[in-house]
Amino acid sequence: MGTEQRPIEADRLYELYGKPLEKDHKGDYIAISPEGETVLGSDLLRVAEEAEGALGPEHTLFRLGPRVVGKWL
């Protein structure tokens, strides 16, 4: 996947798996794997560490509400 496609994929993942959680979890963090598996929590570092073990090395981190925190490779 080229770098120009990554923002589009991140947007798609957020729309499918993050946006439905905004109302009840605004300000929380979510890690989403390319397959749609998620880790949710209020502490960015904890979510990142848990996602590394649960989702593997490649997932995208978001803050629910304001968008993309970063790409985890």
pLDDT digits (tens, 9 = 90+) for 20-52: 999 999 999 999 999 999 999 999 999 999 999
* More confident of the two residues 6 and 40: 40
Amino acid 4: pLDDT: 53
Buried b (16+ CB within 10 A) or exposed e, 22-45: eeebeebbbbbbeeeebbbbeeee
pLDDT band per the 50, 70, 90 thresholds, residue 2: very low
Mean model confidence pLDDT for the chain: 86
The reported pTM is 0.80
Provide the CA 32 distance to its chain's centre, in angstroms: 4
- Listed by start position, the domains of the chain span 3-72
Amino acid 56: pLDDT: 87
